[in-house]
Every structure is written in C-alpha cells, then in structure tokens.
Amino acid sequence: MQTLTISPNLEVTLYDSIEEFPVHIELEARQYATMQSGLATSQEELEEKKERIDLLERYDRKGDLYKEQSNYRIAEHLLSINFMPLELEWCCYVYAINGGRVVGHRENALIERLDHLKENGLTSNQIAESLNQLKAEMEAEVKRLYPGRIEKGKKWNNLTRYKAYGEAMVDHFIDPNEETKRKLDKAIIDILSTQEVLDFGGENDVLSQLKTAQFAMYAILTECGVADPKSITLFEYYGWIDVLQKRHEAQKPTPTPHAPKRQ
C-alpha cells in the first residue's frame, strides 16, 4: 500500500499492487482513465481537440469527425462543471483515510470523498504524482507476472509515423509542390489513424462496452466455480484470464499436414 500524508492530521492509504486491488474497483478506475484519455480535460486540450476536428473535416474522415464533435461537446460540459476524471480515477485507489477503510465507489461517493480531502489540503499535483507512481508500480507487476498483457511494438510504430510526418512537413516547407503536399497529407492521415476516437454516449459507447465485457468475464468465472468474481483481486482476475486463454489455445485443433500430391 502507498501512504500519502496530506497534513499532520490527514493520511491516505492507497492500493498500489494488483495483488490487493479489487477488480470491480479497477473497472471504475479504468472508466475514468478512459475518459481522461479520450476527452479534453483542460482548455488547452479542448483547443487541441478543436484543431483535430478541423483536420478530420479537412481530410473527410466523417466517422471519426462525428464522434470527435460529440466528444468535444461532452468535454466542454464536463469542464464547465469542473469534472476531473483523473482525480476521480485516483480516488478509486484510496483504501483508507486515517486508518479507516473507505466504503463505496459510486461516483457520488468518490466526489464527496475527493471534496473532503481537497478541502483538507490535498492538491492536484499530489493527486497526479501519486497516481503516476502507483500505476507505474502496478504496470511493473503486470509486466513481471503477466507479460503477455503488455502491448508490444505500438509505441515504436507511432514514433515512426510521427517521424515521417516531421520529415514530410520539412520537405513541403522547403519545396512546396504537389508531390510534397501529397506526402504531407498521407503523413497527417497516418497520424490521425493512430489516435483512435472513442465513442462516448453513442451506440458504441466505450464505457458501456467496458462494463459489459467485464460482466461477461464474471459470468465465465462463475461457470468456472468462482463464487463471487467481483470480489477477487486484479492479480487473480488476470490469472484466470491467463489460464482460460492457455486452455483455449490447448483445445485448438492441430492442423493436419496434407499428403503430397502424386504426379
């Protein structure tokens, strides 16, 4: 557990291990993390999203454009009411306050708990630093215990696309012609394609998909004999997924080699 001292009279204990973190609370935290990554949570990010909307419109990417326009309106509203997904995500990791274990992780309970802590000295910087630290520790655990869950190659592919974009932009600046413009357009489209536009509130609402996918997994675990899947830790949850995936792979039929054709 991580301990964060806010004042001489206020101390917060936080989950920082997948062996302790309950999977049903992790789902709540993941939803706020998804909102943080997919929506603008500051005026600067809102401006960036507006620029992205202009690019999507210019390059006729209608599907992403409509979702991004909707997300812009949602983000604008959340900013107007000072709704901060990152802070609520952090609040999901709170295990105890002054030694007393917290109860309830519904949004209203999280907001009330967060307001209480901020009124008593908790700062946004403390929240961000604490969250980065505990998530880094959990990610290191996952890499060690379940390395198959870590995506490989994605960051490198994105860096390659950004490098190509930078080179195309320089080439077009030095020698603006149809060929360099075509290469720049292609590089911009490649960049846009790396940044998935999540659907918030639409028919493919990403938050609903997270919930239903986890419920489906709970149903499978119940069939496997787990009495209360929601109560298990993230370590146990990943362990079960690992076991089921290996079992599925083992049950796949082995391809039969074809006999050589007679001449």
Residue 232 has pLDDT above 50, yes or no: yes
pLDDT in tens, 188-208: 666 655 567 888 888 889 899
| 3-state SS, residue 22 | strand
What value does the mean pLDDT of the chain take?
A: 84
pLDDT band at residue 153 under the 50/70/90 scheme: very low
> Distance (Å, rounded) from C-alpha 124 to C-alpha 114?
11
Domain span including residue 171: 151-197
> What pLDDT, on a 0 to 100 scale, did the predictor assign at position 164?
66
Is 172 within a domain? yes
Which residue pairs, CB below 8 angstroms and at least 24 apart, start in 178-185? 185/59
- Better-scored residue on pLDDT, 156 or 196: 196
Domain assignment of residue 55, yes or no: no
How many other CB atoms are there within 10 angstroms of residue 192's CB atom?
Answer: 17
According to DSSP, residue 94 is labeled E
Q: Count of domains in the chain?
A: 1
Q: What is the pLDDT of residue 198?
A: 82
Phi and psi at 13, nearest 5°, equal: -105, 130
Helix (H, G, I), strand (E, B) or coil at 233: strand
Average the pLDDT over 226-239 and give the result: 92
Model confidence at 243: pLDDT above 70: yes
Q: How confident is the model at residue 155 (pLDDT cuts 50, 70, 90)?
A: very low
Q: Can you tell me whether residue 201 is helix, strand or coil?
A: coil
Q: Could you give the percent of the chain with pLDDT greater than 70? A: 82
- pLDDT classification of 88: cutoffs 50, 70, 90: very high
Residue 1 lies in a domain: no
216 within a domain of the structure (yes/no)? no
Whether 219 maps to a domain, the answer reads no
| Residue 49 vs residue 20, higher pLDDT | 20
pLDDT digits (tens, 9 = 90+) for 94-142: 999 999 999 999 999 999 999 999 999 999 999 999 999 999 999 999 9
Per-residue pLDDT reduced to its tens digit, 249-260? 776 666 555 555
Determine the average pLDDT of the residues in 2-16.
Answer: 94
- Return the ∠ at Cα 101 (arms to 100 and 105), rounded to 5°: 135
Query: Which token pair is 194?
Result: 């790396």
Query: 10-44 burial, b if ≥16 CB within 10 A, otherwise e?
Result: eebbbbbebeebbbbbbbbbebbbbbbebbbbeee
Q: Provide the pLDDT confidence category of residue 32 given band limits of 50, 70 and 90.
A: very high
Higher pLDDT, 37 or 248: 37
Average pLDDT over residues 34-47: 88
Residue 170 belongs to some domain of the structure: yes
Lowest mean pLDDT across 122-136, 210-224, 234-248: 234-248
Count CB neighbours of 113 within 10 A.
19
Strand partners, 218: none
- Cα–Cα distance for residue pair 260/239, rounded to 1 Å: 43
- Say what the pLDDT of residue 19 is: 96
Region 151-169: mean pLDDT is 55
In a domain, 209, yes or no: no
> 80-104 in b/e burial notation, b at 16+ Cβ within 10 A?
eeebbbbbbbbbbbbbebeeeeeee
Looking at the domain assignment, is residue 252 inside a domain? Answer: no
**What is the pLDDT, as a whole number, of residue 159?**
54
